[in-house]
Structure 1
Amino acid sequence: MKKFNIVIVGGGSTWTPGLLNSLCKKKSEFPLGKLVMYDIDEERQSVIGEFAKILFKEKYPELDFNYTTDKETAFTNVDFVFCQMRTGGYTMREKDEKIPMEFGVIGQETCGPGGFAYGMRSIRDMIQLVEDVRMYAKDAWILNYTNPAAIVAEALNRVFHDDKKILNICDQPVNLLRSYGKILDMDPYEFEPVYFGLNHFGWFTHLYDKEGNDLVPVIKNIVKERGFAPADAEQRDKSWLETYAMVEDMLKDFPEYLPNTYLQYYLYPEYKFKKMNPEFTRANEVIEGRERRVFEECRRVAEEGTTQNAHVVHNDAHGDMIVEVAESIAYNKHRLYVVIVENNGLIGNIQNDAMVEVTATLGANGPRPYGVGNVDTFYKGMIEQQLAYEKLTADAYFEGSYSKALKALTLNRTVVDAKKARKVLDALIEVNRDYWPELK
């Protein structure tokens, strides 16, 4: 069986230990010859890298492992690039979340003005990454789950439209499928989902079991009676439990489909804003929670020289998904995943150049997506408004256009008011001067 060479971009991420553990679990199904972690933050990555050395010594001794800040070392002769970068780190994430709240607008990592700011920062580095990878590994698959994935996918599709080995994907649909599996006491790998929308902005219309029975009505009734929680609720921060709980509200108001949890920010912006603490946002929760736990555990493992009794992994769905996606491509397995692709008629009454999120099989030649036909007026309207925001955000970046940026934020359902949009935009420009192009 062929052994593959992979690089993890964003090696210093708190999600990396879970991904490394997934690679260990899958070493028989997806064997590696070489693994490199790459990050521009040497100090941060070294903590995870030293943990990884202990992990692989115990669970994957045959693996050639290294971590580096050098692009040539990272990308030469790799088969797969797993990309999870965060431009600006948690310092900028905290600003993304807190600045909008000063003007009465939701502060969230990927939604609303926070997602706009993050997206404007991510575009530059993602374009550079693809160019760097192609310099040293022209045929490598780039599996990107850098947020905000919708804006990143739009930008990369414009610049690298003919590069068919870039796949943008998000783990939230997988998290939801695992959560459905838990409440049904079923294996989520056996589900056949039907999904449509944009990233962090979509719906499951059907969820079939092995016999072809649609489980969506069953799930709706369970959520109505017992509420909804993530499959790994015991590992989640408080805000995530509140996020999943809102699915019950969304199903009460819009009962047709099972919603992506992120839709709550767009459907109930005033309610969600009132529930937020402008002094302690999710960024602070992560910094004081997952961030602290992961790095403390990695340092402890490195000092003790063993992973025995280690509690580093958080949300293994994240790591498992990207490894299984690579395996499905590598061995032409045609497994089903929810991925981001150019529309081209998949959602019949949405423009063709939209980057939509739908179910697809994944094989050696990439995704083969399944269409859903036309969607009704409410969902079409929701998608088109969000799509216009995403496209205008990309326009603002590539054209250096203040006007396009203002239009983007005005259209976003978390903002709506143009005067608020202008105030938030001006404040975000001030703190992002080192990351964004100049907007005129």
Structure 2
Amino acid sequence: MKLAVVGGGSTYTPELIDGFARLRDTLPISELVLIDPAAERLELIGGLARRIFAKQGHPGLITTTSDLDAGVADADAVLLQLRIGGQAARLQDETWPLECGCVGQETTGAGGLAKALRTVPVVLDIAERVRRSNPDAWIIDFTNPVGIVTRALLQAGHKAVGLCNVAIGFQRRFAAMLDLTPADIHLDHVGLNHLTWELGVRKGGPEGENLLPQLLARHGQAIADDLHLPRAVLDRLGVVPSYYLRYFYAHDEVVRELGTKPSRAAEVAAMEKELLGLYGDPALDEKPELLAKRGGAFYSEAAVDLAASLLGDGGSAVQVVNTLNNGTLPFLPDDAVVEVQARVDRTGPSPLAVPRLDPLYAGLIAHVTAYEDLALDAALRGGRERVFKALLAHPLVGQFDLAEGLTDRLLAHNKEHLAWA
């Protein structure tokens, strides 16, 4: 089995390598190719990756290349983990929206739109090159904004599944709180990428006992603290929102906070510099503890589980993925991309049935889906007016003057990445 990682020079990659090494019985990789144009970073991370495999006794071959076409040739699956423009672009995404009094964040709001505009054309070019040489390969997208990027891939006819680590993070956290194994926990996880709610926490499977009321009664304050939301929000909703919902439920508070502290991009850039220094140590043969602060917790486990189901021997497993709606949420178009539990096998994901959603959640999902429609149109066809309309449609913008000011700033800060600008 051959896997290729596009963006293999990311500081995330050792997390992925560690999972591949530990879980080799689940996903028996014979060859892993790390692909990245940043040759110096790729050399550092490739060396560490080989040492991690060697320490854990993994027999697989790890190679590195800057040649995308050569790297993806004959791959059974291609993982995408890209950041177009690097941390410098992320810093801008987190900064200029604040000038208009809007949240500055890399996947939510105006910053998320900027990232989509930069990313979608690049990902589609990569996917087309994969398809030309290797049409049977699965594309697993971890590149944000995952929902919009995955929709672009599926709309273009690619064999693609989107992946996020929010659900697996909740699964691991809730299992520890309930003194259960992660395999015992099934989440009623519903929504769009970075706009999801845990409507149930079930023991043993989709039909199991719902332990969510018990979980909130015993651990509601700890969960609320993790989400940086008041405990009363969880108690009144009776569900656990993704931490990205804080940008909606406490938008103005978040904007005030972001204006008084260093940006996350600046923190990550400093962390990446330190990580790359660690990765260059020839004695290092495991992922360093600092990597846990970088983000992407449990990404490797989620990626292994998904790849194993897509490439396995005919079995299936239930996992949270980003995939076509196809009636799962009846108030959305079939070609929308939703993030839900699905049964995954070699044919791809088949979403599980979702109960009728409360309008409190369905309304916001529908609103953000409409924004994503317009965002994808802007990413595919360009044009200032399309960018403006996407921003005007976003529930965190929604005002003419705000959308105008944000459009001007987005275009000014992203000219080098937008061919049409």
- Partner residue of 1:59? 56
Does residue 213 (structure 1) correspond to residue 209 (structure 2)? The answer is yes
Q: Which residue of 2 aligns with 1:307?
A: 285
Relative to structure 1, is the Cα distance of residues 71 and 247 closer, same or farther in structure 2, using a 3 angstrom cutoff?
A: farther
Does the aligned pair in 2 maintain the 1:196–1:347 contact within 8 Å? no
Task: From the superposition, tell whether residues 135 and 308 of structure 1 become closer, same or farther in structure 2 (CA, over 3 Å).
Answer: closer
Paired residues, what number?
A: 415
Equivalent residues of 1:18, 1:312 under 8 A apart: no
Aligned partner letter, 2:191: G
Rounded to whole Å, the distance in 1 between the matches of 2:380 and 2:357 is 31
Aligned partner of 1:317 in structure 2 is 298
* Letter matched to residue 68 of structure 2: K
CA contact (8 A) 2:102 2:255 kept: yes
**Does 2:387 correspond to 1:409?**
no
| Matches of 2:33 and 2:24, distance apart in 1 | 16
**Shift in Å at residue 56 of structure 1?**
2.5
Name the structure 2 match of 1:297: 278
1:74-89 matches, cutoff 5 A: 74-89=71-86
Counterpart for residue 148 of structure 1: 145
Cα distance in 1 for residues equivalent to 2:83 and 2:376 = 18
Between the aligned partners of 1:270 and 1:309, the Cα distance in structure 2 is 37
Distance 1:404 1:250 in 2: 35
What is the deviation of 1:310? 4.8
| TM-fit CA distance, 1:292 | 3.3
Name the CA distance, whole Å, in 2 between partners of 1:220 and 1:310. 33
Instruction: Say whether 1:392 aligns with 2:374.
Output: yes
> Matched residues in 1 for 2:71 and 2:88: separation?
26
Q: How far apart, in 2, do the equivalents of 1:249 and 1:285 lie?
A: 30
1:72 maps onto 2:69 in alignment: yes
CA change 1:181–1:337 in 2 (3 A) is same
Given residue 53 of structure 1, which amino acid in structure 2 is its aligned partner? R
For 1:217 and 1:63, how far apart are their aligned partners in 2?
A: 45
Aligned to 1:138: 135
The whole-number CA distance in structure 2 between the counterparts of 1:113 and 1:39 is: 27
Is residue 206 of structure 2 the alignment partner of residue 195 of structure 1? no
Q: Distance in 1 between matches of 2:322 and 2:32?
A: 26
Residue 244 of structure 2, aligned match among 241, 250, 262: 262
Residue matched to 1:179: 173
Q: How does 1:350-365 map to 2 (within 5 A)?
A: 350-365=332-347
The answer to whether the Cα contact below 8 Å between 1:396 and 1:405 also exists between their aligned partners in 2 is yes
Deviations 1:241-290 (A, max 9, x none): x762327353145x14221111110122111111113662111121223x
TM-score (norm 1): 0.89
Segments of structure 1 that go 5 or more residues without pairing to the other structure are 230-241
CA distance in 2, matches of 1:364, 1:110: 30
1: CA distance, partners of 2:133 / 2:120: 21
Structure 1 residue 313, shift from structure 2 partner: 4.5
TM, length-normalised to structure 2: 0.93
Per-residue CA deviation, residues 97-154 of structure 1 (Å, 9 max, x unaligned), is 0111122111011100110000111101110110111122211111111101111122
- Is 1:345 aligned with 2:327? yes
Q: Which runs of 4+ in 1 moved over 6 A?
A: none
* Cα distance, 1:350 vs structure 2: 2.5
Q: 2:264 aligns with which of 277, 282, 304?
A: 282
Supply the distance in 1 between the matched residues of 2:21 and 2:145 (Cα, whole angstroms).
28
Deviation at 1:183, TM superposition (A): 1.7
Cα contact 1:101–1:278 (8 A) shared by 2: no
CA distance in 1, matches of 2:190, 2:367: 15
Matched, 1:248 2:205: no
Per-residue CA deviation, residues 12-57 of structure 1 (Å, 9 max, x unaligned), is 1121001001111012232121111001221222221121232233
2:360 to 359, 378, 388: 378
Which residue identity does 1:27 align to in structure 2? R
